[in-house]
Structure 1
Amino acid sequence: MADHYQVQSLNYGKIETLTYGKRTFQSAIRKTAADEPVFLSKLGLEGDKQAYKDHGGVDKALCLYPYDYYEYWNNIIQNPVKTALFGENITTVGLTERNAHVGDIFAFGEAIIQVSEPRNPCYKLAAKYEVPDIVVKMRDTGYTGFLFRVLKEGIVSVRDELILLEKDPNKVSIATVNDVKFKDRLIKRSWIEFCKQRPCLLV
């Protein structure tokens, strides 16, 4: 069914002090897949933590990343993990930035959740996988993932699907928000690359 989306994994993590290469920081990016049902509150999955104030909160209670992109990243990242590749809470099949809209409402187990905004990739992903430009790649491809707020709390599990209940009437996709958010930077980068091929334009 077009508006039912399979949950590949449901993930939560605790805060750890991690060292990747030369960087040491606190993070809950290493998440564990939950096999048993978990309570989903307004602030996220029970047992899931965030290390910084800009992560989590009522408008960022859940992070989703599409399993559809795992193959793409497997060609870039050495020894990638099979679940919670980018520290997401929900890994789904078929629900991406192009068909998810800000304000869309989904049933998820006993809970009801609403798409709130794109995920903003951070440096920890580059540190974890030792791919310095991975954040740039995420922005350029638009493969950022996105966030949810929780409208109704309840028990959820990996066996539950995400079921679209209501599509926001404005139909502003996460992909569109990403395009607007990163447009100026992409245009500037393309112009610089164009000029490098034509030195006379740099005079």
Structure 2
Amino acid sequence: MDQQTYPVQSLNAGKIETLTYGGKTFESAIRKEAVQERIFLSKIGLVGDEQAYKHHGGEDKALCLYPQDYYPYWSDILSNFSQTALFGENITVKGLTEENAHIGDTFTYGEAVIQVSEPRNPCYKLAAKYDVPDMVVRMRDTGYTGFLFRVLKEGFVSPGDDLVLLEPHPAQVSVSLVNDVKFFDRFNQEKLERVLSVDALSEGIRATLLKQYQSKTKNSWG
């Protein structure tokens, strides 16, 4: 069986800065730049890469991926479009999207082994950076959110390293399905049960979805 390989277009890291966009000032490391040399990937992320807020990091959110596949869509929307780390992601990857990435899938990345843990939650800072007020809504409605990884094995990664699927998770719960129950079909008990059954789901989003499940509330069409 051929290995599924996904080309990494850029490996990105950044430092916390005080930024002002559209009259809003905040701390952020969203302006990441492509790394030119190999860098160590630890349990909490790339060494030297910073996160401004605690809930933006941690072991379940060690690495952020955004598919390059969506860059053409955003190029028609963003006036100050960038080909590198458009949404402050650590790795910009071709061919791996929310549709074909599953919670718990593991990949080799350089010397490291990483595992899909949860979708990325769209942040208001992206709207501020690009002066697109409905940016969060656009990301939610398109499903073009990107997603996050935990690090199962630490190691050095380099700009030329690609993601290679090591082991697909048997449950095959896609990141897009998690986005669906998170944002839209929020009280579909069957879908929620399927998502919550995945052991590799991050604890943060598990707590949120468990509350939805326990509420027993149904959508108007359910």
Secondary structure of the 2:118 match is strand
Amino acid at match of 1:33: A
Structure 1 residue 145 corresponds to structure 2 residue 155: no
Secondary structure of the 1:54 match is helix
Looking at structure 2, the residues matched to 19 and 142 of structure 1 have their Cα atoms a distance apart, in angstroms, of 27
Number of residue pairs matched by the alignment: 185
Give the equivalent residue in structure 2 for 1:194. none
Once superposed, which parts of structure 1, at least 4 consecutive aligned residues long, lie more than 2 Å away?
Answer: none
* 8 Å contact kept, 2:3–2:164: no
Deviations 1:148-180 (A, max 9, x none): 000000000121110001000000000010011
**In angstroms, what is the RMSD of aligned CA positions?**
1.0
* 8 Å contact kept, 2:103–2:118: yes
Give the equivalent residue in structure 2 for 1:166. 167
Looking at structure 1, the residues matched to 145 and 67 of structure 2 have their Cα atoms a distance apart, in angstroms, of 9
Taking structure 2 as the reference length, what is the TM-score of the superposition?
0.82
Looking at structure 2, the residues matched to 79 and 137 of structure 1 have their Cα atoms a distance apart, in angstroms, of 17
Give the equivalent residue in structure 2 for 1:79. 80
Give the equivalent residue in structure 1 for 2:4. 3
In the TM superposition, residue 3 of structure 1 has moved relative to its aligned partner by 1.1
In the TM superposition, residue 35 of structure 1 has moved relative to its aligned partner by 1.1
In the TM superposition, residue 104 of structure 1 has moved relative to its aligned partner by 0.2
Larger Rg: 1
Looking at structure 2, the residues matched to 51 and 93 of structure 1 have their Cα atoms a distance apart, in angstroms, of 27
Give the equivalent residue in structure 2 for 1:116. 117
Deviations 1:61-88 (A, max 9, x none): 0000000000000000002111000000
Deviations 1:107-130 (A, max 9, x none): 000000000000001100000000
Looking at structure 2, the residues matched to 179 and 16 of structure 1 have their Cα atoms a distance apart, in angstroms, of 33
* 8 Å contact kept, 2:43–2:154: yes
In the TM superposition, residue 184 of structure 1 has moved relative to its aligned partner by 4.8
Secondary structure of the 1:14 match is coil
Looking at structure 2, the residues matched to 128 and 3 of structure 1 have their Cα atoms a distance apart, in angstroms, of 34
Amino acid at match of 1:129: Y
Looking at structure 1, the residues matched to 3 and 65 of structure 2 have their Cα atoms a distance apart, in angstroms, of 18
* 8 Å contact kept, 2:104–2:169: yes
Give the equivalent residue in structure 2 for 1:66. 67
Amino acid at match of 1:90: I
In the TM superposition, residue 2 of structure 1 has moved relative to its aligned partner by 6.6
Looking at structure 2, the residues matched to 152 and 28 of structure 1 have their Cα atoms a distance apart, in angstroms, of 25
Q: Mind listing any 5+ residue stretches in structure 2 that lack a counterpart? A: 187-222
Looking at structure 1, the residues matched to 46 and 131 of structure 2 have their Cα atoms a distance apart, in angstroms, of 28
